[in-house]
Amino acid sequence: MDQNSPEFERTRNFYQKDFLTYLSVERNLAPRTVKEYKDDLNHFLHSKTIAVEKNQDFSLSNVDERTLREYLAELKQDRHYTPRSMNRKIACLKSYFGFLEKDKFIARSPLAALKSVKDIRPLPKVLSVEEVDRLLNSVPILEVPKQLSQEWIKKNFGMIRDRAIMELLYASGIRVSELVGLNLEAIDWEKRMLKVLGKGRKERYVFFNETSAKTLNIYCKIRTQSKTQALFLNKKGERISARMVQLLLKKHLKRAGIQRMASPHTLRHSFATHLLEGGADLVAIKELLGHANLATTQIYTNISLSHIKQTYDQAHPRGSGHLKKKPLGRV
């Protein structure tokens, strides 16, 4: 057998099962994330560069920095991967080979010196405060009648739920995946807090304001009885999907007369940017967003600087906004 055993690289599965168990148990990653790692790892092992199904002599000890650079070149040149997509593959392989080194399946990880691909990301899209107001107010806040009828609930359920969803996304800055994963028990009405399960299955607390509390309270009064404890339901009484939240937001953007594209994540970006522009501390915003690193949150300082520059140009007597209205004379 040999071929750099143990057990010929665990009978040519190359310790994938061990790695995925490690991700799930020791690193406590969400099932969806574990599946993404599995797919990325399979992509590497069955790529043109490695092709384990054809190369019966392949061994993990043969993988070096050059091999990995050839794989990345394959991704870029043959498959036209973006830097962001390539970096996801690199992150997976760093975790994989780091695990193999830690458990002594290989002597040393070949990715120790490999850096991520430089990614010049565009600034996140953000709605202005005025645009957010228009979006939210495109769905009126309805008062619940004392005598509730099923007919009234059926007629108004969607609009009330949609307003509560949009208010909560903007008030708390949570991801759409976190929103659809909320259960009734997550709400602390007294403190106006939510317990959210974020990336890496990490729990955190976020806040919501009085307006979102009002709309959420109205929604909960008409929320239909359901077997599920999910907070937000579709009309069948089942947990709402992230795709449905995207579609309902698209519908209300059109109602509000907002032409540019926006998504639930745009409300998250808007939440962070508006907090920063209102004087909030960057570290506090990091905690509210559930970011692992402050560097991820710092992108909002760039958006804020962009906003400040635009304000400067419009407000300064000799800024571009004024010059367009009143051209300078000849010197």
Query: What residues are annotated to the active site?
Result: 175, 199, 265, 268, 291, 300
From residue 325, alpha-carbon distances to 13, 274, 317, 319, 328 in Å are 69, 29, 11, 10, 10
Which tokens sit at 32? 């969806």
